[in-house]
A and B are shown apart, each in its own frame.
Chain A
Amino acid sequence: MSKIEIRLAGVGGQGLILAGLILAEASAIFDNKFVSQTQSYAPLARGAPSKSELIISDREIDYPEVEKADLFLALSQDAYDKYINDLKENGIVIIDKDLLASKHFSSLIALPLTEIAMKSTGKSFSVSMAALGVIAALGKFSSYESLIKSIKKNAPKGTEELNLKAFEAGFSAFGKH
């Protein structure tokens, strides 16, 4: 693993910024990698485009933004349409199949992420945690254990259990996928 580029994109209110932070800190602190995490957001908190990007590397990172993603999580049609072509060859794409339409391709993981989140926690904003569960299940980006530690550390006080539930739900949903 020399350099991995990850893009998480959707709209405000889906918990993407927190998910980006959790994945970044899992890699930086618990997996001991170099990580640069950037984000773009609109001044409004809900409904506007939201994006978190991570570079994970064994070496010090120069350019901190994603150019061609190894992993792309899309939680809105706009985000999907905007970035679907900025992928590395065989780059993995995770989508919420109820939120957006995609043509089929081999590295596409289409799951009803919001539904999984709602079933496990009753909160739609935990959709990004369910997506992190899927990312953990993929194995190659950050480990299950590191992500659990990072959720416990970074989830707002009182929401740790809720976020872990959605994460576990996503993790096991991928197994059934």
Chain B
Amino acid sequence: MSINLTIIEKYLRENKILPTVWCPGCGIGLVLKAVLGAIDELNLNKNDIAMVSGIGCAGRMPVYVDFDTLHTTHGRALSFATGIKLAKPKMNVIVIMGDGDAVAIGGNHFIHTSRRNIELTAIVINNFIYGLTGGQFSPATPLDSLATTSPYGNIDQPFDICRLGEMAGASFVARSTVYHLKELQKFIKLALQKEGFSIVEALSNCHINYGKRNNLSKPIDMFNWFKNNTTLKDEEGKIKRGIFADKNIPGYYKQYQELIKRAKLCQR
């Protein structure tokens, strides 16, 4: 417990009254813990961290943390973060998104940020649902799941967010869950150290707006689901955890420095 207290004291804003806006038992708080834990392990300077988010439950995270924080529009956090990174290349820019935020309305930015491989770290908190608006299906909602806008079962095929980022060109892509918190923190730590665009997908529980309609109405039900339905190995019918991509390719800002040199030679 003492280490957690330290993290809270060190990284949460004093003037922000807890509890958070999130429902009791929500997994987003656990993701926050893993993010702060990874930052602490790496001993990053708070002044060098920018946390950027979009809209949705996950989007509320930056308000609590004692960094430079930016709460943007729905789906566009990566594009704002791109501008910040290029203006302040020394900062560690961490982008917090939900599943709908990252790959529905923000899907275009997600694949293009991956393609560009710009030096940002994206944490996609995938709780399979639009939580803040009350439980509509998202591009990550499993087939046949019930949601307020899929009352007869979801027929939209879900995205595999990690495969999407991997194929689009991100240098580091990994997935874990809030049940596997130490593993999640390890992946976030690796992501923060990686050059280029790094993505960590954190499967998280929204027992309120996803779980209650799908026989998983308590946090523990969803944790057990993560425990039983995810795997580090290749197992048929289970969601794969682990590292999907770990490539040593130059990031966009680094490439831009090369471009500057080329431009200077041409203009001489």
Is there direct touching of A and B in the complex, by C-beta distance under 8 Å?
A: no
Q: Name B's A-contacting residues (CB within 8 A).
A: none
Q: Name A's B-contacting residues (CB within 8 A).
A: none
